Structure 1
């Protein structure tokens, strides 16, 4: 019984280790701030492949691909 449980746990751990991870999510934009998140193709951050824009009124616009390589800017609303 214990061997079956250990075997099942080992198989499950192996499956989870092989699955690809999800890309990083955009950082939450605080209330009364305008935020822009840029997504880059790799860690050199030279090629933008996507973006998320959030303005002071709650409007959100995004395009492209989300990746783990991001830059995030915040500007307070007036």
Structure 2
């Protein structure tokens, strides 16, 4: 029987940037500490970074959602 599976990087067209790696690591740390809500994720990112790449100095729920959407389109 042939089982379907997903290779984690099969759709990736390039290596992640340093910013993407930092953001991903920070999100993983937040999830690992039990954060499950967007507001908690935003608070964790504001506490530990990285800063948004936009001109904003802090994360908001709207900014994080937009950034994750933008990054998903670039993958």
Bin the TM-score by the shorter chain.
under 0.3
Superposition TM-score, scaled by structure 1 size: 0.24
Highest Rg: 1 or 2?
A: 1
Greater percentage in helix = 2
